[in-house]
């Protein structure tokens, strides 16, 4: 595990509590001179939930991550697949292992596989053989707006798609977890998926993407998260909830984070930076400092779970 230096006080957020050891459960690195990430290359840029993705079109390596996280006690990190060239998902995994050997992070990773492809079983098996791989991510298809969702859908490539589920089944054989990134209106699909495959742990990325902060949308998000919380084989990442054009503050995101913790319990929640992506609207210090503030009234044991314990358990760190 890699340890950073003690955290610095922040006038904006109060003491950053440098006694807290942190595992960053979801971040990216990329070398655009070496690897192909179509979403960071193609013109025009593909749709992106934070708006313009072009500021991310720069190399982001461990040296840059450490500069962003300087002053915090980051004891380990988990790399999340970064939509590398889909024709060769194993190349990304090999590259991350080379980086970890050279630079000392990450200590674990989420790899890519495409569950509705013919090679799903072979790719999952190959990914599972790498020593740092703990989970697989493949973003399921769905509808863009909650009002377009129907409970009986059979969208190709979705969590309810038979072909997609046939690939998902191989996760159980491999012992890998599944990283789920989907908007909250598809969380009922996730409930069905988790119930159908109870031995596969689902890790919900970015709190179900509650981008719409209207009262109606937040009420619907809360209801969907409440249903998902009843499913035991689900964990939640407290990450990726930036609002385009707004700084990451306790006032903006505090209720969402606290409700997620209340619904799932600290023992099922873990913090993650989602850097450099979330760096579009906030610094690393702003996000982690705000999370310290949001959770400051929790019991010490609960904060330990959120900032390191749950991630250490899930990713075997």
**Gap between the terminal Cα atoms of the chain:** 8
pLDDT digits (tens, 9 = 90+) for 100-158: 999 999 999 999 999 999 999 999 999 999 999 999 999 999 999 999 999 999 999 99
CATH topology classification for 22-314: TIM Barrel (3.20.20)
pLDDT digits (tens, 9 = 90+) for 15-34: 455 579 999 999 999 999 99
Distance CA 19, CA 218 (A): 33
pLDDT digits (tens, 9 = 90+) for 225-255: 999 999 999 999 999 999 988 999 999 999 9
| Strand ranges of the sheet holding 234-238, from the earlier edge strand across to the other edge | 22-27, 74-80, 108-112, 133-137, 177-180, 202-204, 234-238, 269-271
- pTM for the model: 0.93
Residue spans of the domains in the chain: they are: 22-314
């Amino acid at each position: 595990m890699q340890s950073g230096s003690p955290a610095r006080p922040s006038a904006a957020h109060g003491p950053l509590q440098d006694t807290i050891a942190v595992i960053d459960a979801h971040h990216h690195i990329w070398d655009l001179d070496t690897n192909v990430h179509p979403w960071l290359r193609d013109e025009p840029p593909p749709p992106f939930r934070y708006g313009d993705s072009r500021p991310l079109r720069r190399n982001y390596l461990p040296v840059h991550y450490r500069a962003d996280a300087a002053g915090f006690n980051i004891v380990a990190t988990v790399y999340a697949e970064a939509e590398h060239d889909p024709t060769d998902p194993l190349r990304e995994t090999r590259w991350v292992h080379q980086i970890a050997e050279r630079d000392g992070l990450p200590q674990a990773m989420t790899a890519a596989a495409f569950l509705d492809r013919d090679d799903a079983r072979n790719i999952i098996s190959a990914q599972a053989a790498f020593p740092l791989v703990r989970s697989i991510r493949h973003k399921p298809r769905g509808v863009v707006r909650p009002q377009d969702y129907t409970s009986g859908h059979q969208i190709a490539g979705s969590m309810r798609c038979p072909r997609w589920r046939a690939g998902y089944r191989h996760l159980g054989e491999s012992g890998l977890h599944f990283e789920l990134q989907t908007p909250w209106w598809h969380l009922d699909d996730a409930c069905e998926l988790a119930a159908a495959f109870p031995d596969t742990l689902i890790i919900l990325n970015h709190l179900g993407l509650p981008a719409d902060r209207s009262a109606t949308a937040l009420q619907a998000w809360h209801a969907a998260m409440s249903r998902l919380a009843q499913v035991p084989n689900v964990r939640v990442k407290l990450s990726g909830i930036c609002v385009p054009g707004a700084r990451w503050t306790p006032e903006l995101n505090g209720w969402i984070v606290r409700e997620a913790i209340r619904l799932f319990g600290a023992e099922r929640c873990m913090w993650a930076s989602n850097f450099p992506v979330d760096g579009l609207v906030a610094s690393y210090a702003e996000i982690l400092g705000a999370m310290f503030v949001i959770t400051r009234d929790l019991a010490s044991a609960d904060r330990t779970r959120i900032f390191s314990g749950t991630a250490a358990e899930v990713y075997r760190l």
